Amino acid sequence: MFRKILVANRGEIAMRIIRACREFGIATAAIYAESDATAIYVKKANEAYLVGPGPVQGYLDIEQIVRLAKRIQADAIHPGYGFLSENAQFAEECSKAGITFIGPSPEALALLGDKVKARELAQKVGVPVVPGTSGSVSSLDEALAFCQRVGYPVIVKASAGGGGRGLRVVRTDAELREAMEAGSREALAAFGDGNLFLEKYIERPHHIEFQLLADQHGYIIHLGERDCSIQRRHQKLIEIAPSLILTPRLRAEMGEAAITLARAANFYNAGTVEFLLDPDGRYYFIEMNPRIQVEHTVTEQITAVDILQSQIWIAAGRPLVFGQHEIALQGYAIQCRINAEDPRNGFRPSSGKITAYLSPGGIGVRIDGAVYKDYTVPPYYDALLAKLTVHGRTWDETVRRTHRSLEEFVLRGVKTTIPFMMKIMEEPDFKAGRFDTAYLDRHPSLYDYEEVMQPEDLVVALSAAIAAYEGL
Ligand code: ADP
Ligand code: ADP
Ligand code: MG
C-alpha cells in the first residue's frame, strides 16, 4: 500500500481523501494557495505545502505538483474532482515521475474527456446515445441541417465541456447561430478546445448515472445508480440513490450498458456513466466522468462501500474483493449541496465570514464539510461549503430526515442553499417522487421563503455573549 498520498485538491473533497487515507494508515500531504491558508483540510493533512501563484494556478500547475510530490516522497497523487482530475497529461507526468495517479490511464482520460469520442465509442459498442451530430460540427450550415432533420429544441455542447458549462439549449435558427458563435469562443477560453457538437434536447428526462468500480485486472462492477435530476442551469443540486423510477430490470440493463462502455474504454478505477432517461423509459448515454464525483456519498450510504478507499485500493493494483452479486442497495439516500449561494438571486455566489456553524447529527446523517465558525469563504472557488447526506429505510423517512437535518443546520454569515433545500423537502411533487430535470423551473414557489431565526441561533448568540462576558 502507499505510504504517502499528495492531495491535489482543496475543500470538502480534500477532507474526504484525507479521511480515507487516515483509516488506511496512509500519510497525507495537502497543497494550498495563500487564499486557502486557513482551510480546514490544510490543518487536517499530515503535511501541507503552499503552491502558487494566486488563488487558482497552483492547483493546476502540473510541473509544480509533480516536483513537490517527488521532493516529499509521496508515492501517489489523488486529484479529487475538477482541477487536474481529468487531465491526461497530468496522469502521464505522474507516471513518468514514478508516482501513481489515483485514477484511470492517460489514454482513458483523453478518450473520455472528449464527449464526441465517448459518444462514438458508445455507438460502436451498442450503447444508445442521444440523437446527435456525428462528430463535432465545423460550420453553421452543418448545424442548421442537423436541426432541420431532428427538429428543435437542440442542445449545443462543447466536446471538452464539464461542470454544466458550455451547454446551450436552442429553439430557433437565430438562437442556434448565436450559440454556435458564442459557444465556440467560450469553450476555447474555458477548456482550450473550441469544438462543439449538437444533440436533440430531450424534454423532461431524469439524469440517471451509474457508479462503477473497475480494477486493473479487468474486473468491473456497478454500485447502482443515482438520480441527479434536481438541477439548476444543468448543474446538480440534490442527488438521490437509488432512483425512485428504475425497475430492477432497467437497473440491470443500464448497469450492464455502463460496464460495456467502461470496458471498451479500457477504464479502471472509479468512474460514473451518465444517462438521460426519457418519460417513455428510453435511456441515452451522455458522458462518462472518469473520476470521483461530488455525489458519490449517496452511493456509499446505500451500499456501505467506501468509494474513496476503493480508488486507492485499485490504484495500488489490488483486485476488487467483492462481486456484483454482493452489492445490495439498502434504503434511500439524499445529498443536499450546501452552497454559499443565494437561490433567490440567481444562485449568486456569496462569500464572507461564517459567524455561526453547527452541523446536524443523529441517525442517518452524514456531513462532508469544509468550513467552521470564523472561517472566511474565499470568492475564488466553487461555492460548495458542505454536503449533507441523509440515509433512511424508506423514501418518506429519508425526506423527513433530510428536512429535520436542514432545520438543525446552523450556518450563518453567508447566504446558503439551506432554506431553499428545506422548501424542496416540503414540496408535494418532490415528496411524491415526481421530478425530472425541469423540476426547479416548474416550481417557482420554491423561491418564496423567509430566512427564519432558529432556536439554535439563539444558543449560538447566547454562548457568544457568555464567552464575551467571561472574556471581560
Ligand atoms: P456536463 O459535462 O456539464 O456535466 P452533461 O452532458 O453531463 O454536461 O449534461 C449536463 C446536464 O445537462 C444533464 O444532466 C441534463 O440535465 C442536461 N442535458 C445534457 N444533454 C441533454 C440533452 N441532450 N437533452 C436534455 N438535457 C440534456
Ligand atoms: P459531479 O459530476 O461530480 O457532480 P460537477 O459536474 O458538479 O461534478 O463538477 C465537479 C467539479 O468539477 C466542479 O467544481 C466543476 O466546476 C468541475 N468540473 C467538472 N468538469 C470540468 C471541466 N471539464 N473543466 C473544468 N471544471 C470542471
Ligand atoms: Mg455530466
CA of 274 to the centre of ligand 3 (A): 6
CA of 410 to the centre of ligand 3 (A): 31
Distance CA 237, CA 234 (A): 9
Give the nearest ligand 2 atom to 228 CA: 4
Same-domain status, 322 and 429: yes
Distance CA 86, CA 190 (A): 14
Same-domain status, 389 and 410: yes
Inside any domain, residue 389: yes
Q: Residue 146: give its domain's CATH number.
A: 3.30.1490.20
Q: Is 193 in the pocket of ligand 2 (CB under 6 A)?
A: no
* Pairing status of strand 341-342 against strand 348-349: antiparallel
- Looking from the CA of 222 toward its CB, the CA atoms found within 13 Å total 23
Contact indicator for 274, 286 with CB cutoff of 8 Å:
yes
3-state secondary structure of 277: strand
Residue located nearest, by CA, to atom 22 of ligand 2: 162
Residue located nearest, by CA, to atom 21 of ligand 2: 162
Q: Residue 434: give the domain boundaries.
A: 206-447
| Catalytic status, residue 168 | no
Q: Which ligand is closest in space to the CA of residue 56?
A: 2
Q: Where are the beta strands (DSSP E) in 12-153?
A: 27-32, 47-50, 76-78, 100-101
Q: Which of 150, 172, 200 is the last residue of a domain?
A: 200
Inside any domain, residue 34: yes
Same-domain status, 329 and 298: yes
Q: Is 286 in the pocket of ligand 1 (CB under 6 A)?
A: yes
Q: Which pLDDT tens digits describe the chain residue by residue (472 residues)? A: 999 999 999 999 999 999 999 999 999 999 999 999 999 999 999 999 999 999 999 999 999 999 999 999 999 999 999 999 999 999 999 999 999 999 999 999 999 999 999 999 999 999 999 999 999 998 999 999 999 999 999 999 999 999 888 899 999 999 999 999 999 999 999 999 999 999 999 999 999 999 999 999 999 999 999 999 999 999 999 999 999 999 999 999 999 999 999 999 999 999 999 999 999 999 999 999 999 999 999 999 999 999 999 999 999 999 999 999 999 999 999 999 999 999 999 999 999 999 999 999 999 999 999 999 999 999 999 999 999 999 999 999 999 999 999 999 999 999 999 999 999 999 999 999 999 999 999 999 999 998 765 555 566 667 777 877 777 6
Same-domain status, 404 and 255: yes
If one residue of 12, 13, 16, 81 were mutated to test the ligand 2 pocket, choosing by the most ligand atoms within 8 A of its CB, it would be 81
Inside any domain, residue 74: yes
Catalytic residue among 291, 337, 366, 401: 291
Residue 137's pLDDT is what?
Answer: 95
Residue 466's pLDDT is what?
Answer: 83
Length of the chain: 472
If one residue of 86, 167, 171 were mutated to test the ligand 1 pocket, choosing by the most ligand atoms within 8 A of its CB, it would be 167
Beta-carbon contacts of 275 under 8 Å, excluding residues fewer than 6 positions away, are 207, 208, 209, 210, 254, 257, 258, 283, 284, 285, 286
Inside any domain, residue 316: yes
Q: Residue 289: give its domain's CATH number.
A: 3.30.470.20
Residue located nearest, by CA, to atom 1 of ligand 1: 162
Same-domain status, 191 and 221: no
Residue located nearest, by CA, to atom 19 of ligand 1: 286
Same-domain status, 189 and 210: no
Helix, strand, coil fractions of the chain, as percent rounded to 5: 40, 25, 35
Residue located nearest, by CA, to atom 3 of ligand 2: 293
Same-domain status, 268 and 378: yes
CA of 453 to the centre of ligand 3 (A): 36
Same-domain status, 327 and 401: yes
Same-domain status, 15 and 71: yes
Instruction: Locate 416 and state its grid cell.
Output: 446558503
Q: Is 293 in the pocket of ligand 2 (CB under 6 A)?
A: yes
CA of 97 to the centre of ligand 3 (A): 31
If one residue of 234, 236, 294, 336 were mutated to test the ligand 2 pocket, choosing by the most ligand atoms within 8 A of its CB, it would be 294
| CA dihedral sign, ordered 162, 148, 117, 243 | positive
Inside any domain, residue 9: yes
Inside any domain, residue 153: yes
CA angle, residues 190, 201, 270, in degrees to nearest 5: 60
Distance CA 48, CA 6 (A): 9
Q: Is 199 in the pocket of ligand 1 (CB under 6 A)?
A: yes
Q: Residue 24: give its domain's CATH number.
A: 3.40.50.20
Contact indicator for 29, 358 with CB cutoff of 8 Å:
no
Instruction: Locate 438 and state its grid cell.
Output: 425541469
Inside any domain, residue 21: yes
Give the nearest ligand 1 atom to 165 CA: 3
Give the number of domains in the chain.
Answer: 3
DSSP alpha helix (H) spans, 98-224: 106-112, 115-124, 140-150, 173-191
If one residue of 231, 234, 291 were mutated to test the ligand 1 pocket, choosing by the most ligand atoms within 8 A of its CB, it would be 234
Q: Which of 145, 180, 200 is the last residue of a domain?
A: 200
Q: Which ligand is closest in space to the CA of residue 294?
A: 2
Same-domain status, 158 and 229: no
Same-domain status, 14 and 37: yes
Give the nearest ligand 1 atom to 231 CA: 16
Residue located nearest, by CA, to atom 17 of ligand 2: 82
Distance CA 247, CA 367 (A): 30
- Looking from the CA of 396 toward its CB, the CA atoms found within 13 Å total 0
What is the secondary structure of 326-363 as a DSSP string?
A: G----SEEEEEEEESEEGGGTTEE--EE--EEE---ST
Same-domain status, 80 and 221: no
